[in-house]
Amino acid sequence: MRGALLSSISLLVVSAGLAQGQATEAKPAVQAPVQVPVQGGIPTGTAPTAQPVPAGTAVPKMTADASVELGTISDEKSIEKTIRFTNTGDAPLEILGVRGSCGCTVPSLDKLEKRVYAPGEGGSFPVTYNPANRNGPQTTTVFIRTNDPTVPETQVQIKSVVKPLVSIEPKAVMLGSIAREQGATGTVTITSLLPDLKIEQAITNNPLIKAEILETKDVVVNNETTKQTQIRITVPPNMPVGMLNDAVTIRTSDAARTLYSGVSGEVQGAFVTTPTVLTFPRMTASQDIRTQIRVVSRNAQPFKITGVSDSPTAGAANFKFDVQPDPQAQPENSAFLIRIAGTGPAEGALQGTLTINTDSATDPAISVRYTGIVTAAPKAAQPAARDPWKDQPSTLIPNGR
């Protein structure tokens, strides 16, 4: 009697499980539609892929201009051209969207008669190219998305040679290493095809750097008479030691034609530090720091280091410094080693400046920046989820029966 009861219970449990499995199978999970950002009718961040087509299947085929030539153009105004295409397949071709490779190239389907074209039928749409702030040969691309399964995205190149009416060269004056006692100079040249344009003002964002407008001359460039004006950039002697990263703004008689040039270089003083910047990448929490800085006299003159101090701007390392003459320096006391020891912060960034004081009359203080960041410790492995059926086995069916 007991065995028959247990068998009945087992049959009921198995039947219930089968019924539950059938019910689950009958109601598959429904996935929410994926939202894809769209630009100009074309999903952004996605690349279309060709689809296999069975032999003998009628398919559309997009055939468009390989390129559109704009020729030599000025940078004064935008140019509009037409892109033409034909459905050379044997099924209807649908235009799904267009986009340009940059903001200077803007295709539009607003003037397209329709979106679907029968076999042998063609159409066209305009593309606008803005050459502002460009110089020389240029190539951009228009992408046309269609239902052509073999080539779902057709590319048309927009080619031009931009001749700016006003240009500046170089766009950045790179002065390299600058001896502080000598200073440095550089020039930029402004070339104008506008005969009435005048260079009125040249100013720098660093009041210690001077910009001087020189004489304007008529110069023939590529068989054209142009107006050329040079501007002399001067970094005077005795500039503060360190990196230069400044700019010159040139204003003209045309308010819409303001020009810019960068000025970069490094003013070097009486000493060279190695390294110039201390970096502590991928630090762990409260990490021990051991490093050093070598300070060398640029002119091999003996000197003394009178002290080292720390000015943190983020975090704190509790640095300690040990200053010793470099035993390999010749002559003696022309180089020093600064050994640095400390403990990094428990979290966050480490950033600040070390100030090295010397007995030099010209360079009483040398600055060395330092930077680092504490990375998060790896998370401990989580214990595997426990199986309640194994922890509390069913008592309905005894083991072994």
Q: What is the CATH number of the domain that holds 99?
A: 2.60.40.10
Q: Choose one of 146, 163, 180: the last residue of a domain.
A: 163
Return the beta strands (E) in 88-223 as ranges: 93-100, 105-107, 116-117, 122-129, 136-146, 153-163, 166-169, 172-179, 184-192, 199-204, 210-221
Q: Choose one of 147, 163, 179: the last residue of a domain.
A: 163
Pair 278, 365 in one domain: yes
Q: What is the mean pLDDT of residues 86-109?
A: 94
On whether residue 394 sits in a domain, the answer given is no
On whether residue 228 sits in a domain, the answer given is yes
Pair 153, 172 in one domain: no
On whether residue 13 sits in a domain, the answer given is no
On whether residue 97 sits in a domain, the answer given is yes
Instruction: Count the helices and strands in the chain (H runs, E runs).
Output: 2, 27
Pair 292, 227 in one domain: no
Grade residue 377 by pLDDT with cuts at 50, 70 and 90: low
Using a 10 angstrom Cβ sphere, with 0-12 exposed, 13-18 middle and 19 or more buried, the burial of residue 401 is exposed
On whether residue 21 sits in a domain, the answer given is no
Q: Domain residues for 90?
A: 39-44+55-163
On whether residue 395 sits in a domain, the answer given is no
Q: Choose one of 242, 268, 294: the last residue of a domain.
A: 268
- What distance in Å separates the CA atoms of residue 194 and residue 192, rounded to the nearest whole number? 5
Grade residue 197 by pLDDT with cuts at 50, 70 and 90: very high
Buried b (16+ CB within 10 A) or exposed e, 232-246: ebebeeebebeebeb
In the chain the first and final C-alpha atoms are separated, in Å, by 15
Cut 0.95: pTM above it: no
- What distance in Å separates the CA atoms of residue 188 and residue 172, rounded to the nearest whole number? 8
pLDDT tens for residues 261-296? 999 999 989 999 999 899 998 899 999 999 999 999
Are 219 and 228 within 8 A, CB to CB? yes
On whether residue 354 sits in a domain, the answer given is yes
Residue bearing the bigger pLDDT, 358 or 9:
358
Pair 232, 288 in one domain: no
- What distance in Å separates the CA atoms of residue 341 and residue 334, rounded to the nearest whole number? 23
Pair 241, 283 in one domain: no
6 φ, ψ (degrees, to nearest 5): -65, -40
For position 242, what pLDDT does the model report?
A: 84
Number of structural domains found in the chain = 3
Pair 212, 289 in one domain: no
On whether residue 32 sits in a domain, the answer given is no
Pair 193, 259 in one domain: yes
Pair 128, 60 in one domain: yes
For position 216, what pLDDT does the model report?
A: 95
